Structure 1
C-alpha cells in the first residue's frame, strides 16, 4: 500500500483498522501533505512502535529530479522526474503575474494518439499514482522555494483515463489538512472522454474543465485525434453542455491552430454554431511542431483573424502565451527526446 496516495479519510480508516486512533491518520496526512515530508522514521509525533510498523508494512512513494531545464526567455522551468520503476515523467513550472502555475503529468505516456502531441508517440506505459502526481508539485515547490498557486493537469497523459487516481489527487491536494490548494485554481484537460465528462460533472467540484477540441468537424478531428472516432462532435458538445449546466462552470476549449487545416473560414463558422449558447472560453494555441507531425502553424495575422471572428459571436477568446520555447516546454517533447537518447545508448 502506498501510504502517501491515501486520502485523509482513508488514512484515518487505516489507522483504526490496525488498532490505532483515527487522529494518527491526520498526523500522518499533514506530515506528508502540509509539511511535505517523506521519511516515516522522522515522524516523531508517532510512537516508535507505530513508526516501525509503518516502515515494515507500507510504502512511501518518492520521486527524483532527473534533469531540470530553465528557459532563458521567460524563466519557465522544465522538470524530468525519475520514478521508482525508472520511468520518466515531466512537469513544467511557469511564472505569471498571478502566481506560479504547475503543469503536471497524470500518466507515463498516453494512448490517445493525438497527431501533434509528443507524449503519445510511445503509447501508454502506465498510470501514475496519486502520490506520483502530488510529488511533482511538492518537489517543484521545494526546488523553487515558492508555493504553487495554480495546477494544470495538462502534461503527459489523459487525466480522465486515470480517473480514480486523479480524483484522489484532487481530494488530497485540496484538503485543508494538507496543501489546501483551491479547486478553482485547478484545470483538468481532456481530449474528450465523453462518459467520464458526465462522471466528472457528478463530482460537483469547482475545477475548470478544459477540452482539447482542435477542429469542429468530425472527419477533420478524426485525422488528428483518434478519440473522435469513438465520440462524435455532437456527443462531445452535448456532454460539455451537461457539464456546464450541472456545475455552472465555464468550459475552456483548447484549439491548436494548424495552417489550412483548422483555421479556415468554415472552421470558424462551425465553431460559432456548435458553441452557441454554451458558457465557454476558447484558448487559441499556436502549433508546436514535432518531427512526427510536419504541419505549419497558423501565422500571427491569421491567429488574430480567428480571434476577432470568434469575438464577434460573443465567444471569449485568448491566444496562449508561449512559455519555455527554448527548452521544449510543450507536452512530452523533452521527455521523449531524453528517453530516445537513453534507449539509443542501451542498444
Structure 2
C-alpha cells in the first residue's frame, strides 16, 4: 500500500507538477524531465530516470509515486486486433481497459468508475454495484498501460466507454482529459477523444460550456420513454424528449456532431415501428439537406442512399450478457432498421462489436471475475 502522503505524478498536469516541484524545493524544469520519462519513454520508476542524479531520484521517491495497477487478466482476440486488460487498483477494485487496433487507428477504451450506479439492463458494468469514482491518475494510467502492451506502442484515439458513467465522475474525468490532451503527455487532440454518456443532462450542459472540441456519444437505445425506461433506469430522471432537447442545445452551442448509440435488441427496440419513431424523434437534429453517400458510407449490405445531419446514429447489435436474456436482431432486420433511418436523412452506421471472443463488451470480464460465473 502506497503512503497517502505521496503525490501521484499522473494526477498532475505539467504546470501543476512544476509548481509542486518548486513548492518542495526542486527545480521546476525537472518536471519536464520526469514527464518525458513517463509519457514518452514508458518508464515509471524514478531509479531508472538516468538523466536525474542519484540523490534527486531518491528524493523524488520520498515525495512522489508512479503507481501502476496489477494486471489480473489479459485476453487477446482471435484476430489479434483487440486486447482486454482486467486491472486491480490499489484498494483491490477491478476495472477494465480495452485496446483496439483498426487500420491506422489505435484506440483505448477506458473506465471512469469502479462499477456503475445506472444499471442499464443490457450492460454488465453495473451488475455488481457501484463502488467509487476513479481518480484522474487511475484514468490516465489505463492509457499508458494500453500503449505499453500494444505492438504499435502508440495511442491515436481514446473513448471513455468502459466501466462507469464518465459524466458522473465529471471533475476527475475533465482533469484526466486535460492531462491526456497536453503536449507534455500524449498530446491527443480533443477531437480524437469521445465521451459516452447514458444521458446525465446537467453534465451534458456543463460539458458544452468547457470550450473543448471533444466528441460526445449519447446512449439512447429507445425512441420513447416506455422502451428506454424499461432498459435504462436513468430515463426516469432524464426522459427521452428532455435528453434530445439537451443534445440539440449542445450541438447549437458547440457546433459538434453528436453520435446517438443505439443497441439493437430483438423484441425490445429493433422493430421497423421503432425505427420510424426514432426517425421522428431526431427530426430537427438531422439535416434536411441530403447528398449522395460515398462508397465508404454505404449500407452494410452495400446499397446506396442519401444522408445528412448534425447527428449520427450508431447501431450496435446486442452482445448478450447472462443477466439480460435477449438476442440481437438478424442481419436483414439490422439492415432494414438502418435503411429506415437513412431514408429519413439520418446518417447511420452499424458497429459490430469487436473482441466478443474475449468478452470485450463493457464490464463482461470484470463481472465474470467478481461472480466466478463463466458458463
**Greater helix content:** 1
Deviates more, 1:247-256 or 1:258-267: 258-267
Alignment of 1:169-208 (within 5 A): 169-208=176-215
Q: Any conservation in 2 of the 1:116–1:290 contact (CA below 8 Å)?
A: yes
> Out of 345, 354, 360, which is 1:323 matched to?
354
Matched with 1:89 is: 95
Q: Any conservation in 2 of the 1:33–1:173 contact (CA below 8 Å)?
A: no
Alignment of 1:124-163 (within 5 A): 124-146=130-152, 147-163=154-170
Partner-residue secondary structure (3-state), 1:114:
coil
Matched, 1:301 2:332: yes
Matched, 1:213 2:244: no
> Out of 246, 270, 274, which is 1:267 matched to?
274
Matched with 1:234 is: 241
Partner-residue secondary structure (3-state), 1:118:
coil
Partner-residue secondary structure (3-state), 2:72:
strand
Matched with 2:173 is: 166
TM-score by length of 2: 0.86
Distance 1:226 1:264 in 2: 21
Note the residue ranges of structure 2 that are not aligned, 5 or more in a row. Answer: 1-6, 286-309
Partner-residue secondary structure (3-state), 2:372:
helix
Counting matched residue pairs gives: 342
Distance 2:205 2:56 in 1: 42
Q: Any conservation in 2 of the 1:68–1:80 contact (CA below 8 Å)?
A: yes
TM-score by length of 1: 0.93
> Out of 103, 107, 111, which is 2:113 matched to?
107
Partner-residue secondary structure (3-state), 1:331:
coil
Matched with 1:79 is: 85
Distance 2:261 2:207 in 1: 18
Distance 1:98 1:254 in 2: 23
Distance 1:163 1:35 in 2: 29
Matched with 2:293 is: none
Post-superposition offset of 1:271: 1.5
Matched with 1:116 is: 122
Inter-CA distance 111–71: structure 2 relative to 1 (3 Å threshold): same
Distance 1:154 1:312 in 2: 29
Distance 1:221 1:15 in 2: 50
Matched with 1:345 is: none
